[in-house]
Amino acid sequence: MYKALNYWVFGGFGPNKTPYEFIDFAKRQGLDGVELTVGDCLPVDVSEDECRRIAAYAKVKGVGLRTLATGCYGAMNLGAADEAERAQAIAFTKKYLQIAAWIGAETVLVIPGSAHVTWDPSRPVVPYKTVWENATKSIRELLPTAEKLGVNIALENVWMRFLLSPMEWKLFLDQFASDRVGMYFDIGNCLLYAPAQDYVEILGAKRIKAVHIKNWRGEDCAGTLHGFGDSLLDGEVDFKAVFAAFAACGYAGTFTVEMIPFSRLPDLVLPDVALAEKCVGEFFGICERNAANAQA
C-alpha cells in the first residue's frame, strides 16, 4: 500500500518549504511518497532541469513522486462559459501534465469544472449543463497531451456543485473511453452526498486513479468547510468499510493524506509541521487496524 502526504499539510499554501525539505520529512516519517503541488512548492514555470533534480533527489531518498496536485483551478475553469478562461485552463493543464512527465509522476489531480466556487463569491456561477459540455470538450482536447506524455488525468470530486453522485461520476468518466482519464477520489469530500464506500463500489479500480485521505463531519443535516477538522480520526468516514471496498475492487493505487483543517477558520495557519506529523501517525494507525481487520 503506497502511503503519501500532500504538500499543503506540511508546507501550507505557498512556497514555504522546498520540495527537498518535504522529501526529507517524508523519509524521516517512513512514508512511501509525497504529493508535490504546482503553484506552491513547484512554481508553474518550473524548469525541466529543476524537475529532474527533484526526481533524482527523491529517488536517492527512496521517496515516490507518483502524483501531483494544484490549487490553480480555483481561478480558472475547464468548464467555463467564457472561452478565454477555458483556454487558459487548458493551457495550464498542458503545462501541468508536462511538469508531471518531467518529474516522473504518473497522475495529476485536475478539477473537471466548477458550477459554483462556494468560498469565492467573485467567481461566476455557471449552469451545470454548460460545465458538463465544456468540461467534456476540454478534457477531450487534453487527452492527446496526456497520452503522448504517459500521464493520467485524475478528476477530483470537490465542492464545486458539479458531479455529485457516484453515478454522475461513472457517466462522465465513461464517455471518454480512455485509460488516461479517471477519478482522483477524495473520501472526505464526498460525504456531503454519500458514503465513500458507495463511490468505490460503483466506480471501481478501473476508474479510480488516486485517492485522497481525509475526514469530515457534517452538522445540522448539512455541513461547511469547518467540517474538515485536524484529525483523521474525527469524522464520518467509515475506514473499515472504505478499505474493505478498495480491497474488494482490487484498487492498488496511491493513498495520500490531504488534511487541511478548515475547522480552524478564520485563523487557519499553515504550514503546520506538527499537524503533518500527527496526520501521518494517525494514518499509519488506520492502515494497521484495517490490515488486521482484513486478516481476521
**HSE-up of residue 46 (Cα within 13 Å, Cβ side):** 28
Query: Predicted confidence band at 41 (pLDDT cuts at 50, 70, 90)?
Result: very high
Q: At residue 153, what are phi and psi to the nearest 5 degrees?
A: -95, 110
* Structural domain span for residue 110: 2-295
Query: Predicted confidence band at 296 (pLDDT cuts at 50, 70, 90)?
Result: low
The arithmetic mean of pLDDT across residues 115-144, rounded, is 94
Q: What is the pLDDT of residue 277?
A: 97
For the chain, what is the mean pLDDT? Answer: 95
Query: Predicted confidence band at 118 (pLDDT cuts at 50, 70, 90)?
Result: confident
The arithmetic mean of pLDDT across residues 143-165, rounded, is 97
Q: What is the pLDDT of residue 220?
A: 72
Percent pLDDT > 70 in the chain is: 99
3-class state of residue 280 by DSSP: helix
Q: Contact at 8 Å (CB) between 12 and 233?
A: no
Query: Predicted confidence band at 61 (pLDDT cuts at 50, 70, 90)?
Result: very high
242: CB partners within 8 A, 6+ apart: 187, 196, 197, 200
Q: What is the pLDDT of residue 129?
A: 98
* pLDDT > 80? residue 288: yes
The arithmetic mean of pLDDT across residues 158-172, rounded, is 96
> pLDDT for 194-244, tens place per residue?
999 999 999 999 999 999 999 999 987 767 889 999 999 999 999 999 999
CA distances from 279 to 23, 80, 141, 186, 249 (A): 16, 35, 37, 16, 26
Q: What is the pLDDT of residue 292?
A: 78
Find out whether the peptide bond into 271 is cis, omega within 30 degrees of 0.
yes
- How many angstroms separate the CA atoms of 289 and 294, rounded? 9
The arithmetic mean of pLDDT across residues 109-130, rounded, is 92
Domain with residue 88: its CATH number is 3.20.20.150
Strands (E), the chain: 2-6, 33-38, 67-70, 107-110, 152-156, 181-186, 208-213, 254-257
Name the domain count of the chain. Answer: 1
